């Protein structure tokens, strides 16, 4: 029986099993006992009363945001318990995987790339397979997949970049607004046709003058005098599915009254092509994902009924951010899906191609590349499924930072790994006869769209600082004013002089939460957590509210916390694999230990640079170098052959 | 005589794309952790049955698979493709190692009678053991007419007109119902099980039977002595000219 209720078990339920195998933690043991009972009860209750009771009883409303709390130095040990599906859930998802794998085996990605178009029959088959309605609930005709299942299918659909982006533009952003913020009647009207792919959706935010700065859009919606219709005017660019979509989620400025003053605020609308006045440009010619349809979309006095506002009038910016935040987590699994496929093909080459009388696979420099491919892929997967599993465990999860971290790490991981694959292949990788250069080109967009990695790094660091700032406000204020608070100031100073910020004492005992083989890795995670807490405090003291302008230090904070979340994910996953004895779990252990060792070095390096301050760590000179380049409108140093005498 | 009941055999086999490895002790091939799927000819059989139903010739399609627990996955695929219900004949893994087409034929024959089937369709052979026996033996056990290697099936009044693929051409025969069909490669192109149909298939009934329920003795009458890899193909040679080729062929006694 495919029912939502089977996914409502909180994560703790399944995760206690393997932890119990070697922990004498009584708290966990007892809570596992009670939850097991609840589990049994669920079966009977859901049969007699329907899902409602169960849902409220078993699925907690929201989580303590793990990454945000890291900014305060708080480590939620539950994050080290990797989410698990039940046997039945796993069988179900594997059943769905099969036909999609077969279908994607036969997709001709080379032709899609060359012709810059997904053939209509392929698109129709994707629709028939049900792939256009993956996360739309079953009552609206979709598959009702949860985040974990969606992530699993994304591993396969990602194998063709053009198809992957077409699907994502449709359901991860295009129709997501209706799904998460739409009214019941909007859902009933639009979702069934979107689920079958009879209608295709697109997300229209970006404009020529408004990219990362989404609040600056110029497209305008003006309310008619009778108050029933908005008239939409403006142009959007680089809209995925822009030429094939029937339903658009459009963001436009509307004038609203706030405190007696008229201000412009962003509002989200559902716009049908049928409404009239909707035109699109010709498909853009792109570096990668060439078969995905990317167009300009123009709205010329397009009438939109007021009931097609998504959320509140003036509440569109929040809708846009929620849509984008909710879609990012799947980039981890999709990236890993592509890399696993690529690794297989490249490994085949490396084990059969001989040079200097040796197979490539015997050269340490090649081995190093494969090890890094495996590590990066492993971390991407671990993060993606930890995030997805947590998303599934709560009613209204707060995972915006985790999802952004998955996106940053995975998009960069894909680029670096695809690049290394080409390097291993040598000249062969550069040839269009092989798929590798296409995969490299297709992957490049990942670092740009759905929020550039630069914006997302700032987002992660600033959201985290804001979360920490609320709690640290008093402390920071006092430390920044030593004359008024001499005791605290000197106390803190003493603590700092006496202790090495890079070698904090270990008090959390994270190593006791995981498989004993992961002791060292868990200890570096704990060290990193403390270092990060100190880093956040220093940054906040140093800059206070002006921290928003300190992008280079914010980047350091983001980099540290990305590594911390990555370490947490793979330690948790490896601990589970070792405890239940999965095949090749010793391989996983090597991967995690290697990754954590290097992450530890990176974290300490970032911290050293941060402690040094701008004058010593070259941040200032970086600014100066760039400033002269801009002043000069280009490269400013004299030509090496130049003489001035 | 409308509303026929169609019974279809679906064998779970190692996926056609998997590179087969022989177990080190040579008792069989490695199946643990290896991708399995429905025998491709059985997929064609299911597809044909579902098409008969879509043409209103058949009223019900029943999928049967004999083997261990995992066969239920194969049956789910059959249900997702359009079968109405499924019967899993549960065979423990030890018995399954020596299960032969004769046993499966007995299961199918018994089920065909129990379920009052009018047509039994199976793939012409399974891609793992290549036996090509089950359909024929089921026909013999039931004493029903058989139309093997079918590449086209049509219903005319009470009979089926079947075009068979035979050596050197096609043969058109007529069989009376009830009958056994075995599906050849060109009978049809099976559909993908779509995700919405996979979801719906979970609600379709799946019955479980044991060999003793069906009164079939599955005790093994034979012993596997040894399973070997096929000989490795020897490397080829390049020749410069036709003369050289002919000489070499003559030298090696091939022409």
What are chain B's domains?
Answer: 4-252 (3.40.50.620)
C-alpha–C-alpha distance, residues A396 and A53, integer Å: 17
- Report pLDDT for A41: 35
> For residue B172, what pLDDT band results from cuts at 50, 70 and 90?
very high
pLDDT over 70 percentage in chain A = 89
Query: Which residues on A lie below 8 Å from B194 (Cβ)?
Result: 99, 128-130
Q: Are strands B36-38 and B12-14 parallel, antiparallel or unpaired?
A: antiparallel
Strand, coil or helix: A137: coil
- Are the beta carbons of A83 and A148 closer than 8 angstroms? yes
DSSP 8-state secondary structure symbol assigned to residue A616: T
- Tens digit of pLDDT for each residue in B116-154? 999 999 999 999 999 999 999 999 999 999 999 999 999
The pLDDT, as a whole number, for residue A497 is: 66
Q: How distant is the Cα of A330 from the closest Cα of chain B, in angstroms?
A: 19
Of B126, B92, B120, B125, the C-alpha closest to B107 is B120
Cα A616 to Cα A594, A610, B197: the distances in Å are 30, 10, 63
Given the residues A272, A450, A537, A588, the one annotated as active site = A450
pLDDT-derived band of residue B235, with 50, 70 and 90 as boundaries? confident
Q: In the predicted model, what is the mean pLDDT of chain A?
A: 89
pLDDT in tens, B184-234: 999 999 998 999 999 999 999 999 999 999 999 998 888 889 999 888 888
What letter does residue A225 receive in the DSSP assignment? Answer: T
Element (H, E) at B67: strand B58-67
Whether pLDDT at A50 is above 80: no
pLDDT at residue A205 in the model: 95
Q: Binning pLDDT at 50, 70 and 90, where does residue A383 land? A: very high
Question: What is the chain A residue with the closest CA to B192?
Answer: A99
Preceding peptide of A77 cis, ω within 30°: no
What are the two backbone dihedrals, phi and then psi, of residue A389, each rounded to the nearest 5 degrees? -60, -40
Which chain B residues are closer than 8 Å to A130 by Cβ? Answer: 194-197
Q: List Cα–Cα distances, A291 to A288, A337, A442, A455, A637, in angstroms.
A: 8, 19, 10, 27, 42
ipTM for this prediction: 0.77
The 10 Å Cβ neighbour count of residue B132 is 16
User: pLDDT per residue over A396-414, tens digit each?
Assistant: 889 999 999 999 999 999 9
Distance between terminal CA atoms of chain A? 87
Which pLDDT does position A506 carry in this prediction?
83
Average pLDDT over residues A119-141: 95
Tokens of A154: 């994304």
Q: What is the pLDDT of residue A498?
A: 66
More confident residue, A442 or A475: A442
User: Which residue, among B30, B32, B196, would best test binding to A if mutated, counting the most A CBs under 10 Å from its CB?
Assistant: B196
d(CA A62, CA A400): 13
Compute CA A366 distance to the chain's CA centroid, rounded to the nearest angstrom: 30
pLDDT at residue A15 above 60?
no
Chain A interface, best mutation among B15, B47, B199, B204, by max A CB count within 10 A: B199
Residue A76 CB contacts under 8 Å (≥ 6 apart), including other chains? A64, A66, A69
Inform me whether the pLDDT recorded for B173 exceeds 70: yes
Query: Is A450 annotated in the active site?
Result: yes
A144 interaction partners in chain B (CB closer than 8 Å): 199
Handedness of CA B9, B12, B15, B16 (dihedral sign): negative
User: What is the set of domains in chain A, with CATH numbers?
Assistant: 318-450 (1.20.140.10), 454-614 (1.20.140.10)
- Phi (first) and psi of residue B161, to 5 degrees: -100, 120
- How high is the pLDDT of residue A474? 72
Bridge partners of A255?
A: A264
How many whole angstroms separate alpha carbon B76 and alpha carbon B36? 13
**Neighbouring-strand partners of residue B14:** B36
**Average pLDDT score over residue span A365-394:** 96
The tens digit of pLDDT for each residue in B42-80 reads 999 999 999 999 999 999 999 999 999 999 999 999 999
Question: Are residues B123 and B37 in contact, defined by beta-carbon separation less than 8 angstroms?
Answer: no
Touching check for A495 and chain B: CB below 8 Å? Answer: no
Q: Specify the DSSP element, H or E, that contains A443.
A: helix A436-444
Phi and psi dihedrals of A220, rounded to 5?
Answer: -125, 140
Instruction: In whole angstroms, give the CA distance from residue A470 to residue A467.
Output: 6
pLDDT of A157-207, one tens digit each?
999 999 999 999 999 999 999 999 999 999 999 999 999 999 999 999 999
Report the predicted TM-score, pTM, of the whole model to 2 decimal places.
0.85
Kindly report, residue by residue over A502-516, the tens digit of the pLDDT. 888 888 899 999 999
SS3 string, A376-396, reads HHHHHHHHHHHHHHHHHHCCC
What is the 3-class SS of A496-564, one letter each residue? HHHCCCCCCCCCCCHHHHCCHHHHHHHHHHHHHHHHHHHHHHHHHHHHHHHHHHCHHHHHHHHHHHHHH
Report d(CA A389, CA A80) in Å as an integer.
12
């Amino acid at each position: 029986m495919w029912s939502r209720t089977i996914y409502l078990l909180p994560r703790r339920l399944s995760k206690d099993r393997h932890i119990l195998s070697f922990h004498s933690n009584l708290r966990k043991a007892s809570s596992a006992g009670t939850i097991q009972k609840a589990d049994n009860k669920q079966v009977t209750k859901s049969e007699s009363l329907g899902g409602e009771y169960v849902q409220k009883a078993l699925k907690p409303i929201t989580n303590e945001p793990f990454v945000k709390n890291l900014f305060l130095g708080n480590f939620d040990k539950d994050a080290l318990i990797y989410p698990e599906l039940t046997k039945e859930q796993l069988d179900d998802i594997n059943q769905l995987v099969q036909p999609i794998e077969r279908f994607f085996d036969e997709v001709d990605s080379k032709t899609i790339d060359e012709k810059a178009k997904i053939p209509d029959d392929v698109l129709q088959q994707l629709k028939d397979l049900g792939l256009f309605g993956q996360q739309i609930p079953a009552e609206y005709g979709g598959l009702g997949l949860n985040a974990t299942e969606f992530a699993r299918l994304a591993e396969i659909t990602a194998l063709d970049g053009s198809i992957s982006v077409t699907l994502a533009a449709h359901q991860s952003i295009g129709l997501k607004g209706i799904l998460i913020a739409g009214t019941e009647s909007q859902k009933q009207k639009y979702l069934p046709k979107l689920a079958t792919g009879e209608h295709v959706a697109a997300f229209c935010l970006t404009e020529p003058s408004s990219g990362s700065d989404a609040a600056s859009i110029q497209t305008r919606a003006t309310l008619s005098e009778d108050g029933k219709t908005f008239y939409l005017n403006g142009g959007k660019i680089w809209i995925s599915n822009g030429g094939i979509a029937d339903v658009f989620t459009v963001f436009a400025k509307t004038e609203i009254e706030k405190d007696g003053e008229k201000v412009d605020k962003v509002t989200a609308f559902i716009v049908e092509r049928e409404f009239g006045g909707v035109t699109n440009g010709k498909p853009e010619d792109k570096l990668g994902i060439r078969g995905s349809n990317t167009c300009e979309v123009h709205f010329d006095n397009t009438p939109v009924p007021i009931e097609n506002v998504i959320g509140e009038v003036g509440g569109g910016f929040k809708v846009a951010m929620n849509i984008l935040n909710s879609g990012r987590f799947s980039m981890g699994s999709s990236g890993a899906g592509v890399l696993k496929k690529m690794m297989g093909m490249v490994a085949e080459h490396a084990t059969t191609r001989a040079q200097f009388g040796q197979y490539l696979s015997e050269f340490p420099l090649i081995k190093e590349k494969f090890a890094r491919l495996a590590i990066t892929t492993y971390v991407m997967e671990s993060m993606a499924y930890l995030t997805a599993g947590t998303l599934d465990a709560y009613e209204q999860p707060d995972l915006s930072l985790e999802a952004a971290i998955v996106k940053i790490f995975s998009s960069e991981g894909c680029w670096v790994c695809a690049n290394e694959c080409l390097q291993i292949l040598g000249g062969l990788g550069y040839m269009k006869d092989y798929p590798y250069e296409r995969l490299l080109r297709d992957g490049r967009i990942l670092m740009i769209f759905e929020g550039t990695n630069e914006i997302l790094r700032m987002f992660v660091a600033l959201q985290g600082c804001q979360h920490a700032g609320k709690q640290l406000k008093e402390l920071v204020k006092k430390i920044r004013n030593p004359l008024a608070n001499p005791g605290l100031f000197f106390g803190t100073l003493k603590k700092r002089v006496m202790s090495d910020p890079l070698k904090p004492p270990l008090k959390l005992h994270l190593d006791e939460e995981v498989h004993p083989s992961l002791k060292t890795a868990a200890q570096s995670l704990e060290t990193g957590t403390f270092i990060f807490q100190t880093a956040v405090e220093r940054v906040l003291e140093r800059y206070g509210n002006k921290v928003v302008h300190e992008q280079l230090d914010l980047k350091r904070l983001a980099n540290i916390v990305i590594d911390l979340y990555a370490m947490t994910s793979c330690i948790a996953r490896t601990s589970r694999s070792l405890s239940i004895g999965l095949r090749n779990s010793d391989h996983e252990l090597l991967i995690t230990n290697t990754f954590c060792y290097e992450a530890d070095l990176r974290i300490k390096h970032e911290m050293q640079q941060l402690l040094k301050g701008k004058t010593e760590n070259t941040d200032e000179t970086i600014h100066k170098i760039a400033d002269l380049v801009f002043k000069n409108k280009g490269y400013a140093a004299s030509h090496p052959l130049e003489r001035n005498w | 005589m409308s509303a026929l009941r169609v019974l279809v055999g679906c064998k779970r086999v190692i996926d056609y794309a998997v590179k087969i490895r022989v177990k080190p002790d040579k008792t069989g091939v490695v199946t643990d952790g290896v991708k399995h799927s429905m025998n491709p000819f059985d997929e064609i059989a299911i597809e044909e049955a579902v098409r008969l139903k879509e043409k209103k010739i058949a009223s019900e399609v029943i999928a049967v698979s004999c083997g261990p627990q995992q066969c239920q996955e194969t049956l789910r695929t059959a249900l997702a493709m359009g079968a109405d219900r499924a019967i899993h004949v549960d065979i423990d893994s030890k018995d399954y190692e020596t299960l032969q087409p004769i046993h499966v034929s007995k299961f199918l024959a018994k089920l065909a009678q129990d379920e009052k089937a009018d047509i039994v369709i199976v793939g012409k052979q399974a891609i793992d053991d290549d036996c090509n026996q089950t359909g024929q033996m089921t026909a013999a056990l039931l004493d029903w007419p058989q139309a093997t290697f079918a590449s086209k099936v049509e219903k005319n009044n009470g009979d089926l007109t079947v075009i068979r693929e035979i050596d050197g051409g096609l043969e058109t025969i007529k069989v009376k119902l009830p009958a056994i069909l075995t599906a050849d490669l060109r009978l049809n192109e099976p559909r993908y099980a779509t995700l919405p149909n996979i979801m719906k298939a979970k609600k379709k009934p799946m019955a479980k039977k044991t060999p003793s329920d069906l009164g079939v003795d599955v005790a093994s009458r034979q012993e596997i002595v040894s399973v070997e890899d096929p000989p490795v193909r020897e490397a080829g040679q390049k020749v410069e000219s036709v003369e050289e080729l002919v000489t070499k062929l003559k030298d090696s006694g091939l022409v």
